[in-house]
Amino acid sequence: MLVGEEFGRLFETFERSAFRLETLDEYDVEEEREEIARFLAGEDMGAEWADNPWVRSMTDKGKQVSRVHVLRSPLTDYLRYELSAYPGNIRAGESIGIIDVTERPVTGLADHDFWLFDDRDVYRMHYTEAGAFVGGELLPPDRLTEYRGYRDRALSNAEPFAAYWERHR
């Protein structure tokens, strides 16, 4: 399994596209804790919030970054925080869709997070029960068709983030 800088290098080395399926209602990311506290306190989130430099570091090179977040209403505090950051990701060039299974159940999706890079490398994301990242597991090539199907199903069933957020903000 890849973790830390080793996993982070995947975002520097992919060539064309990176797709993420997110499925958790809560992620425990140490680097986000202070920012979440500021968000929940209603404080200013700063310039990076308005135009995500991490996303822009990829899209400025002509790479496509997209995600679909499968979630359930009502939103957790963490999801309110994360979704509030999505407009800055979109401004930086990421395409984001939402599937709220409480509004519209969708079957045939993966029940776990994954990244699909360049339509050829799939990393299943592993987390603790509390949502802390354990590592990304490179899946064998014979699983590509399955995960491309999950991606395609998610994209075809996702509502554009802006439309979802307009109703739930």
**What DSSP element (H or E) covers 115?**
strand 114-117
- Helix, strand or coil, per DSSP, at residue 15: coil
Number of domains in the chain: 1
- Helix, strand or coil, per DSSP, at residue 93: coil
pLDDT tens by residue, the chain, 169 residues: 999 999 999 999 999 999 999 999 999 999 899 999 999 999 989 878 899 999 999 999 999 999 999 999 999 999 999 999 999 999 999 999 999 999 999 999 999 999 999 999 999 999 999 999 999 999 999 999 999 999 999 999 999 999 999 998 7
Domain limits at 96? 4-168
Q: What is the pLDDT of residue 34?
A: 93
Q: What is the pLDDT of residue 101?
A: 97
Q: What is the pLDDT of residue 76?
A: 94
Listed as own residue / partner, the contacts of 76-81 with beta carbons closer than 8 Å and 24 or more positions apart are 76/25, 76/26, 77/36, 77/40, 78/25, 78/26, 78/27, 78/36, 78/131, 79/25, 79/26, 80/39, 81/32, 81/35, 81/36, 81/39, 81/40
Q: What is the pLDDT of residue 169?
A: 79
Q: What is the pLDDT of residue 47?
A: 79
**Does the predicted model carry a pTM greater than 0.85?**
yes
Do the beta carbons of residue 123 and residue 134 sit within 8 Å?
Answer: no
Rounded to a whole number of angstroms, the distance between the first and last alpha carbons of the chain is: 36
Do the beta carbons of residue 148 and residue 119 sit within 8 Å?
Answer: yes
d(CA 35, CA 30): 10
The identity of residue 113, as a single letter, is D
CATH number at 81 reads 3.30.870.10
